[in-house]
Amino acid sequence: MNIPQDALKSGAENMQGVEIQEVGQRLSEIVKDLPPEQKAATTQQASKKTHKFTQQQLKAKLLANLPSEKRMKAEIEAEISSEINSLESKATRMTYFNNSKNYFELNNILAKVRELTDILASLTKATFEMIKSLWLRLVHGIAL
């Protein structure tokens, strides 16, 4: 079997035969050694990549691209049911595995489970505006 010479080159060389050095330092160590003007340029580039929206901008963006009512209900139900499951497992751990039981905290957890169950039950007869506000509040965490 004839193997071309290019394939026999080490993995640290690219197709043109230029050797690529492996980076053995962390990025923070490399940036620390840069001159100040390059440090400022890299931090400005990083800040340009992350767009932080205010709650009002995010709300307007989400309201402009609303999914269907059925999909919003499904997302709300999934969010509520996952929250209920996590609260119930926390309550179970508190009752079975803690020697010093905190009944006040357990009562608050069960009250929250009842509140979420009531929201889930009222979702069947909810209006579109109510579904929209629940979707923004529960799924996306936007307070109205």
Q: At 19, is the pLDDT very low, low, confident or very high (cuts 50, 70, 90)?
A: very low
Tokens of residue 8, six digits: 């026999």
Same domain, 47 and 60: no
Same domain, 67 and 26: no
**pTM summary value:** 0.59
* Structural domain range at position 26: 22-51
- Considering only CA atoms, which of 64, 58, 70 is closest in space to residue 128? 70
What total number of domains does the chain contain?
Answer: 2
Same domain, 114 and 64: yes
Q: Is residue 69 part of a domain?
A: yes
Instruction: Determine contact, residues 120/134, Cβ cutoff 8 Å.
Output: no
pLDDT tens per residue across span 89-103: 999 988 888 777 788
pLDDT tens per residue across span 31-87: 555 566 555 555 555 555 556 778 788 888 888 888 899 999 999 999 999 999 999
Q: Is residue 90 part of a domain?
A: yes
| CA 121 to each of CA 74, 86, 92, 117, 125: distance values in angstroms, whole numbers, following the listed order | 13, 19, 23, 6, 8
Q: To the nearest whole number, what is the mean pLDDT of the chain?
A: 76
Question: How many Cβ atoms are within 10 Å of 7's Cβ, its own excluded?
Answer: 6
Same domain, 70 and 114: yes
Give the residue from 32, 51, 70 where a domain finishes: 51
Q: Is residue 17 part of a domain?
A: no
Helices (H), the chain: 5-8, 27-32, 36-49, 55-64, 69-97, 103-122, 128-134
Same domain, 65 and 113: yes
Same domain, 75 and 133: yes
Same domain, 31 and 79: no
Same domain, 84 and 114: yes
Give the residue from 7, 34, 51 where a domain finishes: 51
Same domain, 32 and 59: no
